[in-house]
Amino acid sequence: MASTETTSRSAELYQRACRSLATGVSSSLRRFVTETPLYIDHADGAHFYDVDGNCRADYTLGWGPLIVGSNHAGINAAVAKQLTKGYTYGCQHVAEIELAELIVESVPGVEQVIFSNTGTEAIQSAIRIARAHTGRDKILKFEGHYHGWLNNVLVSYRPKSEDTTLAQPTCGGQPASEYADTLVLPWNDIDALKDLFALRGDEIACVLTEPILANSGSCMPKPGYLEALVELCREHGAVSIFDEVITGFRIALGGAREYFGVEPDLSVYGKALAGGFTMSAVGGRAEMFEVLRDQRTIHSGTYNGTTFNIIAAIETIRELRKPGTYERMNAHGQAIAEALTSAAADVGLDVVVSGVGSVFSVHFGVKQAPRDYRDTTRSDMQTYTRFRAAMLDNGVQLLPDARWYIGTQHDEAVLEHVINAIESSMKDTVRC
């Protein structure tokens, strides 16, 4: 496995890109993943190969989707076969039914689904369904949770004010009128939720939560928190929505519903659902979709149900349904978590890993796993950034926010490589 010798070709391409592609990248954060954005030539299984000839074990999984790896034979064959039959029809096709049936079979309590392309879109569909279903406007979200880049939900994602209930925009270009109906609370605090429901319960259309706070430190829900949230929604006639764009098909085949044994009214899926193709879905009890059947509201999109995305999702789920898949991914993640904490202890650093086997976050400089967004701000990201740079030099590609994703492509050979890389990168981290 080669370590990073040079990124000069990537640097040249980035300079060229900046002339015609505004910012040089296609999603704002990508500018900050590495000093020079890496240009990937191709990817195969668990490895990314950049244009400078570096090969790296990848734990970014393209920010989550690549749960069965790149160049997957089953997906390739199925998509190749479909490509000769048509890309998108704007009409119905049989594979859509097959995928809907597979999801319904795989996810507890999901009786029906609708399809779209990105997590951002599917979240908006879920919110609209909830509003049409309840006849209410307010949506409630939690600090540090990410539900896509649109104005009504990109609020209090990285709040600057001390006020934990103030809806705060995340970036420029977000007019207050567009998040005027968004309420915000700290997460994992059931009393705060009870109090708000007591005051404004009859205004709230839906409560939106990541079931594991994967976007901010992979905080785990306190025991009983998700159950209480769903129950409070039921009592007050609000729709509970789990944003499973990260956890869906990842922490278990049935996502958080299966992992925690809790069934919200609606769940939103994306990322791992289609193994790297552009697919998202909203699932829930059939009655939740009555508002679409009786035309109180609509769900639309030119690319909804695009053939090869649907086919890729079918192949991904078939792969994930193979016996032992989740046990293997979780064991791989566990082994990495143990290697991280023991290598850190060896060099005198405090490191805590939070989350689950297949998606977790690494926290430097703390002794306890964070429970909410405010806790995560205590993690020492500067040291993590140094560690991540050392890992890149040791042939392992990681995300800047300290979140790691595991997929079925991460086998024993990759594990051996990453554990060696962790041990030497921890030493490099304290040296520099």
Q: Which residues bind ligand PMP (CB under 6 A)?
A: 118-120, 123, 146-148, 210, 215, 243, 245-246, 270
Please enumerate, as own/partner, the contacts of 75-82 that have beta carbons within 8 Å and a separation of 24 or more. 75/275, 75/276, 75/277, 75/312, 75/315, 75/316, 75/319, 78/311, 78/312, 78/314, 78/315, 79/277, 79/308, 79/311, 79/312, 79/315, 82/307, 82/308, 82/311
Both structure tokens of 199 = 């005051």
In the complex, residue closest to ligand PMP by CB: 119
CB of 123 to ligand PMP, least distance (A): 6
- Exactly one of 58, 269, 271, 326 is catalytic; name it: 271
CA distances from 7 to 38, 357, 391, 422 (A): 7, 31, 15, 21
Nearer to ligand PMP, 34 or 120 (CB): 120
For the chain, the residue count is 432
Min CB(279)–ligand PMP separation in Å:
9
- Separation CA 426–CA 238 (nearest Å): 47
**Residue 25 has what DSSP assignment?**
S
In this complex, which beta carbon is closest to ligand PMP, that of residue 150 or of residue 292? 150
**Closest approach of Cβ 427 to ligand PMP, in Å?**
32
What is the amino acid identity at position 423? E
Asked about 194 being catalytic, the answer comes back as no
Q: Which of 52, 58, 181, 243 is catalytic?
A: 243
Which amino acid does the sequence have at 426? M
Candidates 14, 59, 146, 373; catalytic one: 146
120 vs 425, beta carbon nearer ligand PMP = 120
Q: Does the active-site annotation cover 146? A: yes
Our CB check for ligand PMP shows the closer of 243 and 263 to be 243
DSSP bridge pairs for 166 = none
DSSP-derived letter for residue 169 is: B
Between 100 and 127, name the residue whose CB sits nearer to ligand PMP: 127
Smallest gap from Cβ 117 to ligand PMP, in A, equals 8
DSSP state of 408: T
Between the CA of residue 93 and those of 220, 270, 305, 399, what are the distances in Å?
39, 20, 8, 37
Query: Residue 227 in contact with residue 387, Cβ under 8 Å?
Result: no
Backbone angles phi, psi at 179, to 5 degrees: -125, 20
Q: Tokens standing for 251?
A: 């922490």
Q: Which lies closer to ligand PMP via its Cβ, residue 120 or residue 316?
A: 120
Catalytic residues: 146, 243, 271
